[in-house]
Amino acid sequence: MPAPFSVPDILGSLERPVLAVDADGRVANVNPAALSMFGPEVATPGAALPLARPDLWQPMAKCLATGEVVYDRLNVGSKTVVATTFPIRRDGRVVGATCICRPCAGEAHPAMEGRLGAILDSVSDGIWICDGSGTILSINAASERLNSVNAEDYVGKNVSCIVAQRMVDRSATLDVLETKRQSSMIQHITKTGKQLLVTATPVLGDQGEVALVVVNERDVTELQNLRQGLQNARKVEERYRSELAELSLFELSQKDIVAQSGQMQRTLRTLLKLAQMDASRVLLLGESGTGKGLLAKFLHQVSPRSPKPFIQINCPAVPENLFEAELFGYEKGAFTGAREAGKAGLIELAAGGTLFLDEVGDIPLGIQAKLLKYLDDHELRRLGGAEARTVECRVVAATNCDLEGLVERRQFRTDLYYRLNTFVVRIAPLRERREDIFGLAEFYLAQQNARHGKAKRLSARAMRQLEAYAFPGNVRELVSIIQKAFVMSDDDDLTDALIEALAGDTPPAVDTPSGPRPLADSTEQTAIRRLREAMAACRTTREMAAHLGVSQATVVRKLKRYGLSRS
């Protein structure tokens, strides 16, 4: 077994300075590297370190007093070293201390170091500098303020202590030492409650090792608070908007509007947005009977203009020679038969509210130029008058015409088209939003029941018949069919009367799945043909009912309705 090495042999083999003292501060051991660094004052065993090297004794005395590892930075001549002091324990008592010194990474000339310190202290961002082992080398003045610390209390300590002491919730420096890559995070400072945006950047040595870690800190507490406040405000705004939209959609039944299809709900939400932003010009495009007038009124009612008038003008119904007077008004004596006091035009009547130009494509060309001028400057002159009047109102135009085609044929002014074309809302025909048919039918049937004190209803077969219909006249035609079936039905079930009403209109049918259909879903001609086929194949009305998929009472009623007899 080889002889053990002596302590002086071991200490002598170390390149870093090592010095040990007893509990009274007397030098017990010192290696050659320590002698070279601290001089002959510490060479004599038993020399009093407090007298020989007060700077070195300070961290060692702290270690002896606390029994904890102490980190410190010492200036030795022109060099700066990091001194780490460990307690020596015997039988649970601290009987001495050992100090190991190493060069300070990034050591510079004292004058240059002083300038660097001044530069770092002039920066408004907090800056920490650690060496490759995590020892804190420098903390600038801004960081002291941000973290509410004294740099002297932490320089020389390992950065892990700030996490261990719960000074911060996490450390970007430790991430960099582990990954050798830049790390950024929001760091919460326990003592001050601040939130710091921390970015730690590694400085690599010649061998690719982490030589330094430079940490930049920026106070984002206020920014985070503003950001959180903005997010909360946006959430509240979105909730209010959603509630407003849902409330408005819920209240549509009070405004004669049914919107169960995705297409129609998107259209209404678009109108809600336009109403909330108080869009001054809106163009509604859609086939005849799609409900453009109802939607124009809906736009007015859900906007801040709702307390003001909603004025509608059906452009094709106004004679061309009276159009200007109706729209812009007239003064006394403007034309034969004019009122003595003159008359305000529809634009003036709509002041502050909404003017709805239904079928705008039928406005005479001569009037289009005057309407364009009004849209440009909100000024008008009554017919026969010289005074310019300023009137502000929202203009909603609607048409089932191809306005672009009218422009190409020079039947509609290009400049007026583009002026009205600011916000365009296209309304889908009923055949493209069949999900709305059931709700519309129920809505208008409920109106008829309330008006006449009845309790008539639509069967599932009647609804299938409606959903198979093409509705070239859109919602207007649906209303007409419901009214006709309501009046003509013999009982509370509208099925038979509805089939007759649909057969009377004879539109092109919508493609439906092939296969036999119940008798109640057939048109009048088809119903007669199927009844005759059943009469030929069956002996009794009971058998006919089973053959046709309906009740016996329905067979008897239909035979009587169509004048058919088994005899």
**Per-residue pLDDT tens for 398-447?**
998 888 888 998 989 999 999 999 899 999 999 899 888 888 888 889 98
Domain that holds residue 163: 110-219
> Domain boundary at 73, 103, 133, which?
103
Instruction: Supply the angle between the helices 541-548 and 552-561 in degrees, to the nearest 10.
Output: 100
**Residue 433 forms part of a structural domain:** no
Cβ–Cβ < 8 Å for 267, 429: no
Establish if 398 belongs to a structural domain.
Answer: yes
156 occurs within a structural domain: yes
Q: What is the pLDDT of residue 515?
A: 40
Higher pLDDT, 542 or 352: 352
Domain-embedded: residue 244: no
**Which one of 80, 103, 126 terminates a domain?**
103
339 and 376 co-located in one domain:
yes
- Mean pLDDT is lowest, of 86-100, 464-478, 521-535, for 521-535
Model confidence at 245: pLDDT above 70:
no
Q: Which of 428, 463, 494 is a domain's end point?
A: 428
Does 27 reside within a domain? yes
Query: What is the value of pTM for the model shown?
Result: 0.49
- pLDDT tens column, 131-182: 888 898 888 888 888 888 888 888 888 988 888 888 888 889 999 998 889 9
Long-range contacts of 303-309 (CB under 8 A, 24+ apart): 303/275, 303/276, 303/278, 303/354, 303/394, 304/275, 304/278, 305/278, 305/352, 305/353, 305/354, 305/394, 308/350, 308/351, 308/352, 308/353, 308/354, 308/393, 309/349, 309/350, 309/351, 309/352, 309/353, 309/354
Clarify whether residues 98 and 116 are in a common domain.
no
User: What are the tens digits of pLDDT across the range 19-34?
Assistant: 999 999 999 989 998 8
**CA 172, CA 154: separation in Å to the nearest integer?**
17
The reported pLDDT for the residue numbered 224 is 72
* 98 lies in the same domain as 207: no
Q: What are phi and psi of 17, to 5 degrees?
A: -65, 135
pLDDT on residue 391: 94
CATH code, domain with 198 = 3.30.450.20
Largest CA-CA distance found in the chain, in angstroms, rounded: 143
Q: What is the spatial distance between Cα 453 and Cα 119, in angstroms, rounded to a whole number?
A: 90
CA torsion through residues 200, 201, 205, 207, sign? positive
Q: How far apart are CA 202 and CA 129, in angstroms?
A: 10
The CATH number of residue 365's host domain is 3.40.50.300
Mean per-residue pLDDT of the chain: 83
Residue 250 maps to a domain: no
d(CA 217, CA 200): 9
Within this chain, do residues 305 and 418 fall inside the same structural domain, yes or no? yes
User: Do the bridges between strand 281-285 and strand 394-399 make them parallel or antiparallel, or are there none, so unpaired?
Assistant: parallel
**Domain total of the chain:** 4
What is the model's pLDDT at position 374?
93
CB contact set of 339 (below 8 Å; sequence gap of 6+) = 330, 332
- Domain membership of residue 233 (yes or no) is no
Same-domain check for residues 279 and 424: yes
Whether 90 and 132 map to the same domain: the answer is: no
- φ, ψ for residue 470, nearest 5 deg: -80, -25
Phi-psi region of 174 (alpha: psi -120 to 50; beta: other; left: phi over 0): alpha
Q: Which residue has the higher pLDDT, 355 or 15?
A: 355
Instruction: Measure CA of the first residue to CA of the last residue in the chain; give whole Å.
Output: 131
Distance, CA of 158 to CA of 246 (rounded, Å): 59
| Distance of alpha carbon 365 from alpha carbon 386, whole angstroms | 22
Considering the domain architecture, whether residues 355 and 422 belong to the same structural domain is answered as yes
Burial of 94 (0-12, 13-18, 19+ CB in 10 A): middle
Q: Do 557 and 495 form a contact (C-beta atoms < 8 A)?
A: no
263 and 206 both lie in a single domain: no
pLDDT of residue 537: 81
pLDDT higher than threshold 90 for residue 370? yes
Same domain? 264 vs 119: no
Reference 302, options 283, 281, 280, 274; nearest CA is 274
Q: Is the domain of 309 the same as that of 354?
A: yes
- Tens-place pLDDT, residues 273-325: 898 888 999 999 999 888 899 999 999 988 889 999 999 999 988 888 889 88
Q: Give yes or no: residues 114 and 94 share one domain.
A: no
pLDDT of residue 240: 54
Q: Are residues 534 and 451 in the same domain?
A: yes
pLDDT of residue 520: 47
**Is residue 215 a part of any domain in this protein?**
yes
